[in-house]
Amino acid sequence: MNLLLLLPEDLISPDHARLTGRRLRHVREVHRAVVGEDLTVGLLGGRMGRGRVLRVDDEGLELALSLDGEPPPKLPLTLLIAVPRPKVLNRVVAAAASLGAARIVLLNAWKVEKAYWASPLMKPENLREQLLLGLEQAKDTVLPELRLARLFRPFVEDELPGLLGGGTGLLAHPGTGGVAPKVLGAPITLAIGPEGGWIEAEARSLTEAGLRPLDLGPRILRTETALAALVGRLF
Amino acid sequence: MNLLLLLPEDLISPDHARLTGRRLRHVREVHRAVVGEDLTVGLLGGRMGRGRVLRVDDEGLELALSLDGEPPPKLPLTLLIAVPRPKVLNRVVAAAASLGAARIVLLNAWKVEKAYWASPLMKPENLREQLLLGLEQAKDTVLPELRLARLFRPFVEDELPGLLGGGTGLLAHPGTGGVAPKVLGAPITLAIGPEGGWIEAEARSLTEAGLRPLDLGPRILRTETALAALVGRLF
């Protein structure tokens, strides 16, 4: 946690916060903060700055806030990610948020098992928690927009062309020989497939919706590794 | 596992392998391979190709091999990584191998806790296993060179200048304003700090050894995310 993210309900006045739970435990056990110390804090959806510890004990953490900085700008990036296995879902969602994507769509695909959608980790509370962890890691305060697209075809045919706008659409798809364009029109929409990849019908639908195939080379990377490598390459 | 990696001891003749253990279980339980099916296989340190299943049961997996392809080229990249927390060590090492780094140095730093070095996960057997998992993920057969540098100063002062050779050295270090050079001389050596970053004395030593500071921007990324984003940007 590189930034302590305050929620609106933590504020007891505009410059005074009180919080409990996971964040209190983290501040006590990892930061080992003491009264008088300054912590890096940010208000969810708002400004960032410092919080001076007024009190920290079993009851809670009280902070005097001085929020004078803006969060880092979001990347003009929409990520379409085929729903990963529950075991890696949390990491992928938090990584996508930490990298600064403005919008994340978790999308169905042929090789996404139905059980993935049924996982308790796909519940909105958990997904929001992972986004918050990504923001705390990256020192950001602004949640990306998160959407779940349970039906591949209606999403890709009816909604994706509109989401693309005038920007660049890219489809990570091995074996196509497509290279990353040198000059990119922002915004960028980037689609990353499931383990085992997109099936050809999906790749065709995504291409028809306006995405260009992008070949990452002979190495097959895990979703979160591919995601970060592509963001590093494109921005 | 996108490639079944065969060890020299699995070969019962140059074109015939027999294996047991983790890989047998994976092939039975995840691939659910049957007799007559072709699997993507590679020989550790050697060629890749197909292995036709001759037999698969509790006793083992027998394959007839046809190894006619070369593994993907390694990146001319040396990664200096400050030893991460045990909880993320495995993922970082496997990701570094999957990305194709030719050499990985796990390095001490001020903010690396002594307990990290004492973790059983730092044993050579485990580190090798993580490298193999990274190769199986990426469809590669060639282990990167792995070194442990328990003493920061002797490594950085005495060995690093030689390792750099005529290549480019880069030091991921927030707040320096350094940007990635447009034209890079291969090979590249890239140093990635611990959680909390390099201390200034370390950054100075690494710079004096020939690394240029590289600022990733205001977002602080987890080690494995920063690693992949940098490799994506540089190669």
Residues 6+ apart with CB under 8 A from B159: B149
What digits encode the pLDDT tens for the residues A170-181?
999 877 777 766
A229 and B98 within 8 Å at the Cβ level: the answer is no
Whether B137 and B179 map to the same domain: the answer is yes
Q: Which residue has the tokens 């994507």?
A: A101
Count the domains in chain B: 2
Whether A119 and A141 map to the same domain: the answer is yes
Whether B172 and B87 map to the same domain: the answer is yes
pLDDT score of A204: 96
B140 and A2 within 8 Å at the Cβ level: the answer is no
Of A137, A140, A222, the CB nearest to B98: A222
Whether A13 and A84 map to the same domain: the answer is no
Q: Terminus-to-terminus CA distance in chain B, angstroms?
A: 24
Spans of chain A, pLDDT less than 70? 180-185
Enter the tokens of residue B203: 């950054």
Torsion, Cα B153 B168 B79 B107, to 10 degrees, reads 10
Whether B105 and B156 map to the same domain: the answer is yes
Q: Which residue has the tokens 């730092």?
A: B122
Calculate the alpha carbon distances from B56 to A47, B12, B27, B44 in Å: 60, 16, 9, 21
User: Which of B69, B90, B120 is at the close of a domain?
Assistant: B69
A218 and B2 within 8 Å at the Cβ level: the answer is no
Q: Using CA atoms, how far apart are residues A121 and B229, in angstroms rounded to an integer?
A: 26
Whether A181 and A92 map to the same domain: the answer is yes
CB B211 within 8 A of CB B169: yes
CB A117 within 8 A of CB A150: yes
pLDDT score of A182: 61
pLDDT score of A115: 97
Whether B59 and B128 map to the same domain: the answer is no
pLDDT score of A179: 74
Spans of chain B, pLDDT less than 70? 180-185
pLDDT score of B141: 98
Whether A51 and A147 map to the same domain: the answer is no
The number of residues in chain A equals: 235
Q: B217 burial class (0-12, 13-18, 19+ CB within 10 angstroms)?
A: middle
Whether A41 and A96 map to the same domain: the answer is no
pTM for the predicted model, two decimal places: 0.93
Least Cα distance to B109 among B188, B172, B182 occurs for B172
Strands B16-19, B11-13: pairing kind = antiparallel
CB A105 within 8 A of CB A81: yes
Chain B residue set in contact with A, beta carbons under 8 Å: 2, 72, 95, 98-100, 137-140, 217-222, 224-233
Among B137, B225, B230, most A C-beta atoms within 10 A, so best to mutate, is B225
Strands A212-214, A168-172: pairing kind = parallel
Whether A148 and A227 map to the same domain: the answer is yes
Whether B65 and B87 map to the same domain: the answer is no
CB B89 within 8 A of CB B83: yes
What are the chain B neighbours of A227 within 8 Å (beta carbons)? 228
Residues 6+ apart with CB under 8 A from A67: A15, A41, A42, A43, A46, A47, A48, A49
- Residue A100 belongs to what H/E stretch? none
Calculate the alpha carbon distances from A117 to A96, A107, A111, A182 in Å: 19, 10, 12, 36
CB A174 within 8 A of CB A216: yes
Among A219, A231, A235, most B C-beta atoms within 10 A, so best to mutate, is A219
Q: B5 burial class (0-12, 13-18, 19+ CB within 10 angstroms)?
A: buried
Least Cα distance to B96 among B87, B108, B84 occurs for B84
Domain assignment of residue A185, given as a range: 75-234
Least Cα distance to B235 among B165, B181, B192, B191 occurs for B181
CATH number of the structural domain spanning residue A33: 2.40.240.20
Helix (H, G, I), strand (E, B), or coil: what is residue B87?
A: helix
E runs forming strands in B46-85: 48-57, 60-69, 75-82
Whether A81 and A192 map to the same domain: the answer is yes
Q: What angle do CA A232, B3, B7 make, to 5 degrees?
A: 120
What digits encode the pLDDT tens for the residues B90-119?
999 999 999 999 999 999 999 999 999 999
- Residue B13 belongs to what H/E stretch? strand B11-13
A139 and B98 within 8 Å at the Cβ level: the answer is no
H helical segments located in B82-222: 86-99, 114-118, 124-138, 152-154, 160-164, 200-208
Of B100, B227, B229, the CB nearest to A219: B100
What are the chain A neighbours of B217 within 8 Å (beta carbons)? 72
Can you say whether residue A175 is alpha, beta or left, with left for phi > 0 and alpha for psi between -120 and 50 degrees?
A: left
